Chain A
């Protein structure tokens, strides 16, 4: 495919939210505290000279103006480096996609068209990666992830799909994923560094959050006294309770 887009030195970022709670949008504005760095979205944009084309919660432009921007991207007239998708991909009711529309069009169709034009596609959070909570039984919205549906390969995009830069969807699987992980991953991509992805598309920049399946030694559960499915990983538990209380010794560090 010839790249007819105007050459631009500055990378561009488009954020789109689907079956979402805005958790990653809020998280990427930063949340400091013990053991957490102060990364924020504006810090990332400034440091790497990235142009924010649009973010639904932060940009001035209305959806109608943004629809024109999206059409330009799809037509190949506007370069798109990073497509960040938050929230599950909604296919209901009955496969029509009309449970989630943007300017009258099913959002999942817009996302599919944008994926074809982006250098890199990032699933920001477990919902975009695997379907997450909306895809929990009975999955009323017919949600999937971008390239997985819970543990099954294939979602909006087939497992063979690759972006313009040759990567599958980069899955940041957490609920929500923290600012540092999102920013370190995007920084690596705009700098052209190689990112290793595991069997379910998760990059090496992904740190464990609260759930012990990823990293048994993170000890966060010991510190805060519970282990819940903070990562809401690829498999959403059907028959087990989600919330596990762990008694914390008041004298422990």
Chain B
């Protein structure tokens, strides 16, 4: 008898926002998938016609977790449109605050959103379950969960020192940052970084940051894992439990990776902005050919065939893109546009950022296992160590130039096209602005989640998440924990993505559970 074919809809939480996944199954195996965001606010329509400076206030409100990234991207978009010179200390302060947000996000995502699924009832009989519960039990009961709240609230003191509040403060503007710089702030930053690093060493790594940074390959990591202090750290338990439940074999998705680079170089990021000099390079990793090419923003295109929007008939670059709802009943199933890089479906995120930056440990592990669920999340445990070191360097650079300005004044131009790309915690975030007669004529935000969670494109190719679910075997359809692991390894931020996306997906003939 052939296996039963059916379609199910699964709503998900702990994705920052709301998300629906529709799966077609043959027996217990997923044969097709559609991802839909389920809430719409319409930021782009709100921005059109307003003063360009309003983007600095409005775009951070797209998302409460990556608010600093949105602000930075908006400031960059305006600066490139205006060709405004930027004070190097302004870039340093921006980078420092962005780094603090990234460090906070990696911990909060890992220990408040990802590891709770290790505590799923499906694993009750697993020999490591008591240990997993002791460390990760939600909400806030596991030791790491509780400690994460305490530690991450303190690293945010860095953003508060310059911006006054987190999330949502508008301390970046074209030319630099609005706040002055003094020794007291830098001392607060030093203290916050030290305290966080000590917690991270003690609770997460089980070794010093220095020792962790000395690991350069998959072999180094396996040797590191042999020591009891390392095996029993949060990272050790994460790795061993994750391997035992199959995370390294799950949900690879698209083999192609994309990153626009991480952290602008304060000395070199200036008009005419024809290059993007970053502290860590970006690029496009062609997963089929195994080569890295430079990132070219002209290759970003939006496909509207499966979007419930007026379809111009061919993919368009964000500067030329429009968002006009089209309620015609056809094959379209989402208000989200399918974003593509040239002809490729791409994957964005910390893994993409670090592979393209040439991080030796991550590149080595990536060559062994590919872009899997396990490695995506492992990257979030690994990345903060290097970020903390970069934060110390940035504070030193600020201290050395403490009397230099944090802001350079220049005249905004009434017309210009701008593009700001920033490494949010979830991957490259892009803002494209078109300014005409001193007003916003067009504003497009493409978030990393919009790339990853996109619907099918004009050629009918699935987006990265949709691709990552195909072939998945789900043991218990009432409790699809394997799906939960894959989804949460993507670190979806649906509030970001659905700023101009909505629901109503195909397939129409379906039954829902529960």
Q: Do chains A and B interact in one complex?
A: yes
Q: Specify the chain A residue showing the minimal Cβ separation from B45.
A: A140
Task: Name the one of B13, B61, B153, B179 contacting A66, with C-beta atoms under 8 angstroms.
Answer: B13
From B158-166, B210-218, B225-233, the one touching the partner chain is: B158-166
Whether B42 and A141, one on each chain, are in contact in the complex, defined by CB atoms closer than 8 angstroms, is yes
Q: Specify the chain A residue showing the minimal Cβ separation from B141.
A: A42
A204-253 residues at the B interface, CB under 8 angstroms: 209-210, 220, 223-226, 228-230, 241-243, 245-246, 248-250, 252
* A30: Cβ under 8 A from any B Cβ: yes
Most chain B beta-carbon contacts within 10 A, residue among A31, A176, A209: A31
Whether A226 and B165, one on each chain, are in contact in the complex, defined by CB atoms closer than 8 angstroms, is no
Task: Name the one of A27, A107, A140, A241 contacting B46, with C-beta atoms under 8 angstroms.
Answer: A140
Whether A60 and B120, one on each chain, are in contact in the complex, defined by CB atoms closer than 8 angstroms, is yes
Task: Name the one of B116, B161, B178 contacting A226, with C-beta atoms under 8 angstroms.
Answer: B178
* B25: Cβ under 8 A from any A Cβ: no
Chain A binding surface SS class: loop
| Residues of the B chain whose Cβ atoms lie less than 8 Å from the Cβ of A132 | 61
Task: Name the one of A29, A63, A98, A223 contacting B153, with C-beta atoms under 8 angstroms.
Answer: A29
From B14-22, B354-362, B466-474, the one touching the partner chain is: B14-22
The verdict on A33 contacting B64 (CB below 8 Å), with A57-B113, A58-B139, A224-B171 known, is no
* B167: Cβ under 8 A from any A Cβ: yes
Report the minimum CB–CB distance from B68 to chain A (whole Å): 11
Q: Specify the chain A residue showing the minimal Cβ separation from B157.
A: A33
Q: Specify the chain B residue showing the minimal Cβ separation from A52.
A: B139
Task: Name the one of A24, A42, A178 contacting B140, with C-beta atoms under 8 angstroms.
Answer: A42
Report the minimum CB–CB distance from B309 to chain A (whole Å): 13
Most chain B beta-carbon contacts within 10 A, residue among A22, A61, A98: A22
Q: Specify the chain A residue showing the minimal Cβ separation from B117.
A: A60
| Chain A 50-87 interface 0/1 with B at a Cβ cutoff of 8 Å (1 = within) | 00100111111111101110000000000000000000
* B495: Cβ under 8 A from any A Cβ: yes
Q: Specify the chain A residue showing the minimal Cβ separation from B64.
A: A23
Task: Name the one of B11, B14, B62, B120 contacting A64, with C-beta atoms under 8 angstroms.
Answer: B11
The verdict on A64 contacting B56 (CB below 8 Å), with A21-B61, A100-B39 known, is no
Task: Name the one of B56, B112, B165, B502 contacting A178, with C-beta atoms under 8 angstroms.
Answer: B165
Whether A31 and B153, one on each chain, are in contact in the complex, defined by CB atoms closer than 8 angstroms, is yes
Q: Specify the chain B residue showing the minimal Cβ separation from A18.
A: B39
Whether B108 and A59, one on each chain, are in contact in the complex, defined by CB atoms closer than 8 angstroms, is no
Whether B149 and A23, one on each chain, are in contact in the complex, defined by CB atoms closer than 8 angstroms, is no
B11-38 residues at the A interface, CB under 8 angstroms: 11-14, 16-18, 38
Give Cα distance in the complex from A211 to B165, angstroms. 12
Whether B173 and A245, one on each chain, are in contact in the complex, defined by CB atoms closer than 8 angstroms, is yes
| Residues of the B chain whose Cβ atoms lie less than 8 Å from the Cβ of A241 | 50-51, 53-54
| Residues of the B chain whose Cβ atoms lie less than 8 Å from the Cβ of A59 | 13-14, 138-139
| Chain B 140-161 interface 0/1 with A at a Cβ cutoff of 8 Å (1 = within) | 1000001001101110110111
Whether A102 and B11, one on each chain, are in contact in the complex, defined by CB atoms closer than 8 angstroms, is yes
| Residues of the B chain whose Cβ atoms lie less than 8 Å from the Cβ of A209 | 165
| Residues of the A chain whose Cβ atoms lie less than 8 Å from the Cβ of B484 | 62
Give Cα distance in the complex from A82 to B495, angstroms. 24
B113-130 residues at the A interface, CB under 8 angstroms: 113, 116-117, 119-120
The verdict on A98 contacting B503 (CB below 8 Å), with A52-B139, A134-B41 known, is yes
Whether A32 and B140, one on each chain, are in contact in the complex, defined by CB atoms closer than 8 angstroms, is no
* B449: Cβ under 8 A from any A Cβ: no
The verdict on A176 contacting B180 (CB below 8 Å), with A64-B513, A242-B57 known, is no
| Chain A 174-201 interface 0/1 with B at a Cβ cutoff of 8 Å (1 = within) | 0110100000000000000000000000
* B170: Cβ under 8 A from any A Cβ: yes
* B181: Cβ under 8 A from any A Cβ: yes
Give Cα distance in the complex from A100 to B108, angstroms. 25
Chain B interface residue count, Cβ-Cβ cutoff 8 angstroms: 77
The verdict on A92 contacting B160 (CB below 8 Å), with A55-B139, A60-B138 known, is no
Report the minimum CB–CB distance from A251 to chain B (whole Å): 8
Task: Name the one of B38, B62, B120, B495 contacting A101, with C-beta atoms under 8 angstroms.
Answer: B38
Whether A60 and B166, one on each chain, are in contact in the complex, defined by CB atoms closer than 8 angstroms, is no
* B58: Cβ under 8 A from any A Cβ: yes
Whether B164 and A248, one on each chain, are in contact in the complex, defined by CB atoms closer than 8 angstroms, is no
Give Cα distance in the complex from A136 to B43, angstroms. 9
Report the minimum CB–CB distance from B137 to chain A (whole Å): 8
Report the minimum CB–CB distance from B16 to chain A (whole Å): 6
Q: Specify the chain A residue showing the minimal Cβ separation from B148.
A: A29
Whether A138 and B13, one on each chain, are in contact in the complex, defined by CB atoms closer than 8 angstroms, is no
| Residues of the A chain whose Cβ atoms lie less than 8 Å from the Cβ of B63 | 21-22
* A90: Cβ under 8 A from any B Cβ: yes
Q: Specify the chain A residue showing the minimal Cβ separation from B512.
A: A104
* B241: Cβ under 8 A from any A Cβ: no
The verdict on A26 contacting B154 (CB below 8 Å), with A19-B41, A141-B40, A228-B170 known, is no
Task: Name the one of A24, A64, A175, A248 contacting B179, with C-beta atoms under 8 angstroms.
Answer: A248
Most chain B beta-carbon contacts within 10 A, residue among A92, A99, A104, A229: A99
Give Cα distance in the complex from A92 to B40, angstroms. 9
| Residues of the A chain whose Cβ atoms lie less than 8 Å from the Cβ of B120 | 60
Q: Specify the chain A residue showing the minimal Cβ separation from B19.
A: A63
Report the minimum CB–CB distance from A73 to chain B (whole Å): 17
* B168: Cβ under 8 A from any A Cβ: yes
Whether A249 and B41, one on each chain, are in contact in the complex, defined by CB atoms closer than 8 angstroms, is no
* B169: Cβ under 8 A from any A Cβ: yes
* A152: Cβ under 8 A from any B Cβ: no
| Residues of the B chain whose Cβ atoms lie less than 8 Å from the Cβ of A19 | 39, 41
Q: Which 4 A-B pairs have the closest CB atoms?
A: A140-B42, A33-B160, A30-B153, A225-B178
Can you add 10 more A-B contacts, CB < 8 Å, to A90-B40, A175-B168? Answer: A57-B14, A102-B18, A133-B43, A134-B41, A134-B42, A143-B41, A210-B165, A224-B179, A248-B180, A249-B180
* Pairs across A and B, CB under 8 Å, 22 listed: A17-B17, A17-B18, A20-B495, A21-B495, A22-B495, A26-B167, A29-B108, A34-B160, A34-B161, A36-B160, A40-B153, A58-B14, A58-B112, A67-B514, A68-B514, A90-B39, A98-B504, A140-B46, A224-B162, A241-B53, A242-B57, A248-B178
A interface vs B, CB < 8 Å?
17-27, 29-34, 36, 38, 40-42, 45, 52, 55-64, 66-68, 88, 90, 92, 98-104, 107, 132-134, 136-138, 140-141, 143, 175-176, 178, 209-210, 220, 223-226, 228-230, 241-243, 245-246, 248-250, 252
